[in-house]
Structure 1
């Protein structure tokens, strides 16, 4: 494959399955006077239909400019000139909706805590590659160009020459190799090799750095998904670390500083290396931390060495500073928004959703906050799934019977959930992956695959559900109006959820309980202390999991489509999957023990079972280098869900997510500016980082200091 500066994955735009908000919310992306905020949010010179981002990196402008505060420092002699601070070829933000901005001002945010990961979701500066066009394309980042060998078992990454950390020190591949050799491969350090560096056979790559700007990853098998891995998450944030400023952090490592004990290094290194907690730690992000008051606030200021520029040559960011207040009470966070004490609120991070739209709209005049809706990218909405590995055998046998799950899906009134929880937005669904994923858009077969899965057990038909339950022997034997198991024993379903779950999850559970009781299934809500929920689920002790959603694609994050991480529908199988490579000796020594008493509890898939088929298909798709064959293997995975599912039950796909944006803030895209309307809910597609908040600017910065 020839060397290139972008890896294009978009062949088609979404032509079907894109769902607009209902009429009740149609005006929520408009200003207070009812006008569309598309051109205003995107800047006065942008066109309302200026969609997406360029897949080819724009040329670096001949004339570069910088913020007045930095120009003053250059003139005073305490900061190098702009060209000396930027790499040889700066990254040019490629979004079509951008307009030239103004420098200055402060942006007010709030967050649940000073250690909450949401703050890092605003900053994409450590990512080697970047998502474009709502995940349909991949473009350069710190890595300027990249190429694989013929079978993708070796990748060469070319980083931008001249990159600098926020303290002005050069960024080099030594910063990656420090992370790799001194942290990941160091058995005394808790960090382990991330999925980014695993081949299709799950083996760990070898990393080498031939020079300061080149990194080579050598795998034992094809690794065609590496570019997606490098673009996903925010690196050195909520995803893999990938790099540390060696010139700074090495002083706290006993290998480089003999005065540091192993215990001191183990206890303090990661805190010192956290750029969002330690103001002294250098960063590659657009803003650098200047103040950290635990439990109270964070303050960031412009990074004078940020390596990204706007299309007109302005070094980013436009906004001088960001002030983040920590507010633990979600109601107080919302109150701050309506009172105008916050300039920008990304709904998923602060607990604001569709039920809050009316209050936000009513407060617009005093708060200055307009409502912007982006598509969530969720293929399910709030989820329900059974524990496929439930310890009680009779119940486990029933759970594993596809007709039982299909009957309950037909007994589920998703219309009611769509109306009461999602305000008639989105589209009803049995539950799929991200609706705008490439494998659905590639051709008519892809669109049909999506629709087939979405509609597979969707119809609300209580009579059909009753008939299916009768067919498998789940009938009312004692005349009390409730059905028993096929052997006559009591049948009781618990809807298990962490007691601090959000209200959408609980509202959905109320509907499920009512619906299933109506067809004769005893159903109870079971709030579980959040401190023990995860542990009990991974031990296989809970009957169901009611929370979350599916927003990702299996190439990046396979669960819950393929049961790999434990926090999904087959927790013991997922732990068995992990042990196959992590500790195969344990599989042998514990083979004759009770699966639920093993440490950790684990199961392996039996030949021909749905999980066995999913694992084998997943193994093939991970090493498939032909893009269309890869897509076809994904379709085969989805067919298992259609034919033997549902393994998880969704309710509403693509319901919009709410973002509150101050009316004076520019270059924030509206939904119509985005290729798929947004892909907000997936942490693998870090939002708003993918839209480059460094390019946001105040129309009147002097009024927002």
Structure 2
């Protein structure tokens, strides 16, 4: 990959900036050398983001203020009669933002940000800034859940019936009432409508994988009834950001607006959803269509395809501060598309960007030295939040690879263990991650509840983390010898037991980050040192998934495992449930359970089935994992579910690694203008931050709507 100028430049940075970068990291956490998570008063500028030392967020709802305040712009509109007065725009009991670091702010100004693009699936990162469509929400880095649109909720004894009570007086951004009819429209006319591609999310399925019954008891009460326990319902509803073209399920659509584009309600609307070319989704996408009402803090003011999106304050946003100020504080938010990360970084250094969530613009640890050097020109403070990853850049062999001899070798734990033991993670930690994080065999996020609940959880994490983390090439060679993967012809490279040359192909999407490419190059060097030959194989992103899903590719490398805040919310790394991870054909088989396809084409070769799918080996590790997972779906007792997770981890330790990591919990870079306030420092966040996983939507979980300018007139 040396012919890639961007990669070449990054490689140089890794080699020459490590000492400076390591020193800089210590100065960026905002704690002035304090222990991470220690709290204390950290008021001021620089690394604190203007936050005043409060740590974490209140678990119980805060009292509703007696009076409310609003932006001068909205007050002028209300005084003119263009919109109702503030008391009529807010619900009876607004959500009071719970974060202890949030201080009363100032209204006004504009915030300039960058996005890789404003169109297509890759624009989904923009949605990570808006959590207004959440029924209930994560706080405290995923440890707790609080109300959102719903004011309260409860379940029955066996978790088979869930009832949500929504705030009275909620309104869409156009002033029309929000009611449970907006959820029922999504459910009845989109999800249940087999002609539409939207599918029922996990939180709408019981432990038997059957759909819930949705009932709008009244305009502010929704009941979900399952045919079996569904104990994870609340936690799964708290995941993701919601809405069309976002990362999570829609969960609600403004029915009063959307019905005009639905063939059931408008005979002139396209009856063939596919033929309509996604027109319905475009119309109801509140992050790009200025006409579509939203429940988020900002609404679209102007959208320019593949260029920029300008958002303006939603006059009806239902969230306030404890002092009674309706959020958001900032008037407008602008996302400008910059596809080349290096061009984006140059704009940041020149002072043209106000806030950067590093993972969305490929700003990483290797950039710290540069941003420190350009701090005076850029006006940007640099913060570090915990990423929460359990692997950083990782890799996994295809457990269901098409070649039968390779499949037999790949399924032998000793082969995968040898590849892990051959990897010099300390070298990678220094060269790529500036000595940050902790070496790991690869786990789910170290912030997951199952690891924090007690000493047994801590031990489960440590055993998985350390199982195959040691750099021991001699032990790796011995394991390969034991399974007959030896050098038969004396050229220093190993052959398969049949005598066929073994050459691993590290397959990755051609738009992979430099972090992954650098790690892959180290892997190849380390593997060759034990006699395992390999090469890298960039593949067009458009064709990668199909090749992986049907077993045509060998080694996947350009992902990470960041999932939490508990293992069962998004368990696809722990258990093969679909086709994109380490056992694609078996995962696909599980995903088709309960459908006609589960029992069809079983007389065909698994790779010739449509879609390709394969039964798990009887008594094998995947069947064991499936059985344990199925048990958890029906178990209302959280401690018993946790015990089942620990049992699944034991299978990963005994029969794994099924995926392998590099280092865990490396920092994420956050950049913000010096006078942008209420941006939390790492010390303000309950677990130091949890920035990486999409299911814990960052930064929206920290309420970007509370950010404000100390001098708003300078950012008009």
TM-score (norm 2): 0.93
Structure 2: how far apart are the matches of 1:543 and 1:169? 53
Give the aligned partner of residue 148 of structure 2: 141
Determine which of 212, 217, 237 is the counterpart of 1:205.
212
Kindly provide the CA deviation profile for residues 226-272 of structure 1, in whole angstroms up to 9, marking residues without a partner as x: 11111100011320000010111111222222333414894421111
Q: Does 1:290 align with 2:297?
A: no
Determine which of 286, 299, 304 is the counterpart of 1:275.
286
How far off is 1:323 after superposition?
1.1
How far off is 1:619 after superposition?
0.6
Structure 1: how far apart are the matches of 2:625 and 2:289? 43
How far off is 1:63 after superposition?
2.1
Structure 2: how far apart are the matches of 1:133 and 1:545? 33
2:51–2:680 Cα contact (<8 Å) kept? no
**C-alpha distance 557-453 of structure 1, shift in aligned 2 (>3 A):** same
Determine which of 79, 84, 91 is the counterpart of 1:87.
91
Structure 1: how far apart are the matches of 2:671 and 2:527? 37
Kindly provide the CA deviation profile for residues 365-410 of structure 1, in whole angstroms up to 9, marking residues without a partner as x: 0111111101111001111000000111111101000011111111
Structure 1: how far apart are the matches of 2:31 and 2:591? 50
Give the aligned partner of residue 248 of structure 1: 257
Q: Does 1:195 align with 2:202?
A: yes
How far off is 1:47 after superposition?
4.2
Structure 1: how far apart are the matches of 2:52 and 2:197? 49
Give the aligned partner of residue 15 of structure 1: none
Give the aligned partner of residue 623 of structure 1: 634
Structure 2: how far apart are the matches of 1:417 and 1:452? 21
2:30–2:48 Cα contact (<8 Å) kept? no
Give the aligned partner of residue 564 of structure 1: 577
Q: Does 1:77 align with 2:84?
A: no
What does 1:160-171 correspond to in 2, within 5 Å?
Answer: 160-171=167-178
Give the aligned partner of residue 13 of structure 1: none
1:106–1:323 Cα contact (<8 Å) kept? yes
Q: Which moved more, 1:215-224 or 1:522-531?
A: 522-531
Give the aligned partner of residue 600 of structure 1: 611
1:381–1:650 Cα contact (<8 Å) kept? yes
Give the aligned partner of residue 309 of structure 1: 320
Determine which of 525, 528, 547 is the counterpart of 1:536.
547
2:26–2:33 Cα contact (<8 Å) kept? no
Structure 1: how far apart are the matches of 2:569 and 2:276? 30
Q: Does 1:651 align with 2:662?
A: yes
Structure 2: how far apart are the matches of 1:685 and 1:45? 24
Matched position secondary structure for 1:634: helix
Give the aligned partner of residue 17 of structure 1: none
Matched position secondary structure for 2:446: coil
1:495–1:525 Cα contact (<8 Å) kept? yes
2:30–2:683 Cα contact (<8 Å) kept? no
Determine which of 27, 38, 43 is the counterpart of 1:39.
43
Q: Does 1:665 align with 2:676?
A: yes
How far off is 1:436 after superposition?
1.1
How far off is 1:489 after superposition?
2.2
1:131–1:137 Cα contact (<8 Å) kept? yes
Structure 1: how far apart are the matches of 2:23 and 2:334? 36
Give the aligned partner of residue 9 of structure 1: none
Determine which of 386, 389, 399 is the counterpart of 2:397.
386
Matched position secondary structure for 2:206: coil
Give the aligned partner of residue 6 of structure 1: none
Give the aligned partner of residue 131 of structure 2: 124
Give the aligned partner of residue 580 of structure 1: 593
**C-alpha distance 44-415 of structure 1, shift in aligned 2 (>3 A):** closer
Structure 2: how far apart are the matches of 1:325 and 1:404? 47
Matched position secondary structure for 2:542: helix
Q: Does 1:68 align with 2:72?
A: yes
**C-alpha distance 279-432 of structure 1, shift in aligned 2 (>3 A):** same
**C-alpha distance 263-476 of structure 1, shift in aligned 2 (>3 A):** closer
Give the aligned partner of residue 10 of structure 1: none
**C-alpha distance 32-414 of structure 1, shift in aligned 2 (>3 A):** closer
Give the aligned partner of residue 181 of structure 1: 188
Structure 1: how far apart are the matches of 2:421 and 2:443? 16
**C-alpha distance 592-105 of structure 1, shift in aligned 2 (>3 A):** same
How many residues in Structure 1 have an aligned counterpart in Structure 2? Answer: 681
Structure 2: how far apart are the matches of 1:204 and 1:495? 39
Structure 1: how far apart are the matches of 2:212 and 2:472? 51
Structure 2: how far apart are the matches of 1:622 and 1:671? 34
Q: Does 1:300 align with 2:311?
A: yes
How far off is 1:625 after superposition?
0.8
Structure 1: how far apart are the matches of 2:266 and 2:480? 68
Matched position secondary structure for 1:52: coil
Structure 2: how far apart are the matches of 1:472 and 1:589? 35
How far off is 1:64 after superposition?
1.1
Structure 2: how far apart are the matches of 1:199 and 1:647? 28
1:377–1:678 Cα contact (<8 Å) kept? yes
Structure 1: how far apart are the matches of 2:31 and 2:412? 51
Determine which of 492, 503, 512 is the counterpart of 1:492.
503
Give the aligned partner of residue 357 of structure 1: 368
Determine which of 54, 60, 63 is the counterpart of 1:59.
63
2:41–2:52 Cα contact (<8 Å) kept? no
Structure 2: how far apart are the matches of 1:473 and 1:170? 69
Structure 2: how far apart are the matches of 1:595 and 1:174? 44
Give the aligned partner of residue 447 of structure 2: 436
1:31–1:370 Cα contact (<8 Å) kept? no
How far off is 1:23 after superposition?
4.6
Q: Mind listing any 5+ residue stretches in structure 1 that lack a counterpart? A: 1-20
2:329–2:708 Cα contact (<8 Å) kept? yes
